[in-house]
Chain A
Amino acid sequence: MYVSVKGGEKAINNAHSWLSEIRRGDVNIAELNIKQISEQLTLSVDRVMSEGSLYDKDLSALAIKQSRGDLIEAIFLVRAYRTTLPRIGSSKPIETGKMLCLRRISATFKDIPGKQKLGPTFDYTHRLLDFKLLADGEYEKAKIEKYDDKEIPHVLSFLNKEGLIQKEIPSGKTSKDITRNPINFPLTRSERLQSLSRGDEGFLLGLAYSTQRGYARNHAFVGELRTGYVEVQFEIPELGIEINIADVMFTECESVNQFKGSKKIPAQFTRGYGLVFGQLERKAISMALVDRSMRWKEFGEEYLGVAAQDEEFVISHCDNIQATGFLEHIKLPHYVDFQAELDLVRKIREEYKKNEQRT
């Protein structure tokens, strides 16, 4: 139990002044501005937008600056701001098939229509510190080549045509917005996906890794991974006209997992899905693997009692703001609580002593 305390105003104000000064750092070093953060720390900005569940680069960059680069604190700030915004409405479902791709790869097929395109990736770098970056202003320019501006079809749609993979068909179930309604287990897959998309990258990475190591049987391939801009379509209420109201960067991962079959249906691959704001492919892949492991019931698989299969465990613990809120509150004054425990321990010890003296 947390009982409110009084006092400490001066100490708190002074602590915040020092926080402000230490955030600024050495004044002989140029101050970081928001545009520098949003242009040069893009992947931090993306993570804050994704887990803050609000796509706005400037806000995300501001939150990173304010939090001294503590991304969970930054996500907290964005979430808090988000709750103050009136909800104007909901978009039409995005069409990731029409994505303007910066990157599009498949680990399952070499030759795919639309080809594999690596984009600006860390893959195949040597992970050696680049001391050239210590010097000012040097960078390589991106190369360009002539292209065909054609839509890039999803890789799994080819397996779909052959019936080799389970089809994703709308279930017709109604889902709640988990940010507006309390969640009740069991959840629909849509509710799970909403939670996962704003869930903590580290937590989901750990769970996804656990499925790869054998804690849930669903050996996964990356069927397709794509990053790029998608047009968000929204109907203007006053006009009834649907417009492209926003251009949003997404990373999407479709995993191909081991098959299921029955007497009625021949064996076919199953799938998991990840979709997140920004260029966050580790998160998108993790999301797809965890989505897949939680679908065990739908595919008639055995429940192995592992964390990644347990939706209540996963969804209740994947939100880093809930988690850090509960975790960090225990450092706030709990004096009354603790006094009670202290009294109890003293009493028990006294009784123990008395008993010892008797024997």
Chain B
Amino acid sequence: MKNESRKQWLSYLATADENYLISLWDNLNMKIEYNWLREPEIGSVMVQGKAGVTGDNFNVGEVTITRCSLSLDKKIQGHGYVQGRNKYKSKIAALCDALMQTEKKEIIKRNIIDKLIKYKNNKRNEILSKTEATKVDFFTLVRGEDK
């Protein structure tokens, strides 16, 4: 398993719309045995900015995060770090992370991760195309005294 691909699926799970992720998971109707390593807990991550884009780091404020960890058997662990305060979303993310390391990988990829990617891309395209429609070309007028 490459870190790059795990980074990708963890990122899409973390930032998924919670209702969408829950409906995708519930539709799969999978019964998975697992043990908690850490039960879901709600916390926060401090978000850092940079003064003047390139200067010193500074704390902007916190964002709510829910996390949990579980294992399918002794070898395979899943971690669910997600944005927001939804414990079920966090558990689904951890289960998906674990299952992506098993022979069920294809099912999860096709039915969940790929759909999350598509969902996010659609949102992105929607914003970009609306923003583009507000593109403006200002022009300055020649004033009388310049003639």
- Does A254 touch B at the CB level, under 8 Å? yes
Once bound together, how far apart are the Cα atoms of A191 and B135, in whole Å? 36
Closest CB in chain A relative to B30 CB, distance in Å? 23
Q: Is the CB of A144 within 8 A of B129?
A: yes
> Which residue of B56, B65, B128 has the most chain A CB atoms within 10 A of its CB atom?
B56
Q: Is the CB of B45 within 8 A of A117?
A: no
Once bound together, how far apart are the Cα atoms of A178 and B46, in whole Å? 12
Within 10-44 of B, Cβ neighbours of A (below 8 Å) are at 10-11, 14-15, 41-44
- Does A85 touch B at the CB level, under 8 Å? yes
Among A54, A169, A242, point to the contact of B61 (Cβ < 8 A).
Answer: A54
Interface residues on chain A, number (Cβ under 8 Å)? 85
Q: Is the CB of B135 within 8 A of A145?
A: yes
Interface residues on chain B, number (Cβ under 8 Å)? 57
Within 161-196 of A, Cβ neighbours of B (below 8 Å) are at 167-171, 173, 175, 177-179, 188-191, 193-194
Q: Is the CB of B42 within 8 A of A85?
A: yes
Once bound together, how far apart are the Cα atoms of A55 and B53, in whole Å? 21
Among A56, A118, A228, A241, point to the contact of B134 (Cβ < 8 A).
Answer: A118
Interface string of A190-206 (1 = CB under 8 A from B): 11011001100000000
Once bound together, how far apart are the Cα atoms of A247 and B56, in whole Å? 22
- Does A34 touch B at the CB level, under 8 Å? no
- Does A136 touch B at the CB level, under 8 Å? no
- Does A267 touch B at the CB level, under 8 Å? no
> Which residue of B15, B59, B130, B137 has the most chain A CB atoms within 10 A of its CB atom?
B59
Closest CB in chain A relative to B113 CB, distance in Å? 13
Once bound together, how far apart are the Cα atoms of A55 and B60, in whole Å? 10
Among B7, B46, B54, B77, point to the contact of A168 (Cβ < 8 A).
Answer: B54
Interface string of B61-104 (1 = CB under 8 A from A): 11111010100000001010111110000000000000000000
> Which residue of A86, A156, A171, A245 has the most chain B CB atoms within 10 A of its CB atom?
A245
Q: Which residues of A contact B47 (CB under 8 A)?
A: 55, 91, 94, 232, 246, 248
Q: Is the CB of A88 within 8 A of B56?
A: no
Once bound together, how far apart are the Cα atoms of A247 and B84, in whole Å? 10
B interface residues (Cβ-Cβ under 8 A, vs A)? 3, 6-7, 10-11, 14-15, 41-65, 67, 69, 77, 79, 81-85, 124, 126-140
29 contacts between A and B (CB under 8 A): A54-B63, A56-B85, A58-B84, A87-B46, A91-B46, A91-B48, A102-B130, A116-B136, A117-B132, A118-B135, A120-B134, A143-B130, A144-B126, A149-B128, A157-B53, A168-B53, A169-B54, A175-B58, A189-B58, A194-B59, A232-B63, A236-B81, A243-B10, A245-B81, A246-B15, A246-B45, A246-B83, A247-B83, A273-B55
A interface residues (Cβ-Cβ under 8 A, vs B)? 49-50, 53-56, 58-59, 82, 85-94, 96-97, 100-104, 110, 115-120, 142-147, 149, 154, 156-157, 167-171, 173, 175, 177-179, 188-191, 193-194, 197-198, 228-229, 231-232, 234, 236, 238-239, 241-248, 250, 252, 254, 271, 273, 275-277
Top 6 A-B pairs ranked by shortest CB distance? A168-B52, A168-B55, A190-B58, A244-B11, A147-B132, A144-B129
